[in-house]
A and B are shown apart, each in its own frame.
Chain A
Amino acid sequence: MTAQFNEPGDPKRPVPDGGAPDLERMARDLPRRDAPDSLWPRIEQSLREEQRRAAERPESFVDRLARAFRVPAVTLALYGVILLVGAGMSWYLLREYAQRDEATAIATQSSDEMMHDAQSDIEQAMFYYERAIGKLTVLAERNEGKLDPQFVALQKDKISLLRSSIDECKAALAKNGTHPEVQHYLLLAYNDLQSTLQQMVNRAN
């Protein structure tokens, strides 16, 4: 079948007609220039050479992609470079962020551990105070007969007051085990009780 085509280039912009000749009409009426018959053979020869060179050169991966995506190979290669640079920068930034996050996690974990250790030491101090107070109480009761009864009565009042303070502090710590002020007063009370009992034992000896 022989293709018969319409002439391309139908006017799109409305043009005035009639009246005095103006520049646009003069330009529009300029004679059409026909391409010489010799032009296509020149073009075809260039195209054949282009095809021959392309056939000699194996199609690269980029060329195949460029053809598939209908973009010039140079553009595709540029996209590739931009993508690689972007991916590289993203990887670097993510790695930096991850490292920083990890360091923060270590520091946080270390602080928690330190606080945990400190609390454990305080609880151990309380435990040792109570153990010492228990031994001193036994010793004081053993030597109670050797001491002045008035002194013993005063000391027992003081011991009773201190024990009730210790019980109040323990009750408060049962609700909030790490309350620093309660821990402080508890340790003071332990210290006072230990000191009072030790005075009784020392005086009896």
Chain B
Amino acid sequence: MYAGNINIAIPAEAMAASPHSMDSVLIDRCAEGDILAFRELYDRWKSPLFSLAYRFHGNREDAEDSLQDAFVHMYRSIGSFRRDAKFETWMYRIVMNACISAKRPRRAGERGVDFTDEARHPAAEDPGADVAMQGILEEEISGLPELQRAVFLLYASQNMTHPEIADVMHIGVGTSKSYYHRARTSLKQRLAQRGIHTSETEQ
């Protein structure tokens, strides 16, 4: 096992280049079976991907399982990653597939939504945020149908465009917009029932 700083010889040009160039260098090394390089990729992307998986499942355990499956799958198939495709899109696609294909549904008493506790004792880097409201929102997001949930999170939380979401999810742009609209409408209704009223602005 590897803990602490990982030292990898990265070419100076790559260091000075964009994050995508760095990803490209690491991808080459991963394709040759370099697990240390893969660890670097993991460190670079674990935070946004884990947040996505966490919000999708609504609990830490399922998020960890999905992310583990996703990264193992990435390592296995990184050699076949085409350079004309966007690595980010490829990666999000694998994570979303892992989340959606994770074991479901859960019965009462099994792993459930645990946003609220964590939100009340946040690893919160945003002390000004309305923690309770965020917990409710995460809870309601995790109650959406899977595809609506995935599209909503990619759009609203990951800040992707509909064409990008369409690429990640292998759906049409219109379908992405439709899922997003339905997710948004549903969320607003659910939040309103819990006394949280949001503005009508739809982007």
Contacts and interface: CB of A to CB of B under 8 A. Distances in A.
Interface in A1-58: 1-3, 5-9, 11-13, 15-16, 19-24, 26-37, 39-48, 50-51
Please classify the interface of chain A as helix (H, G, I), strand (E, B), loop, or mixed, using the class held by over half of its residues: loop
B193 interface: no
A1 B7 contact: yes
Given A8-B48, A21-B199, A34 B123 contact: yes
Contacts, number: 170
Nearest to B153: A27
Contact of A5 (B40, B60, B76, B126): B40
A36 B83 CA distance: 30
A22 B202 CA distance: 8
Contact of A43 (B23, B42, B122): B42
Given A5-B19, A12-B161, A31-B134, A23 B64 contact: no
Interface residues of B, number: 79
A29 B129 contact: yes
Given A5-B22, A9-B88, 20 more contacts: A5-B40, A5-B44, A6-B19, A7-B44, A7-B47, A8-B45, A11-B159, A12-B160, A13-B161, A15-B159, A26-B133, A29-B126, A30-B51, A34-B50, A35-B47, A35-B67, A44-B39, A46-B72, A50-B76, A70-B79
Interface of A: 1-3, 5-9, 11-13, 15-16, 19-24, 26-37, 39-48, 50-51, 66-67, 70-72, 75
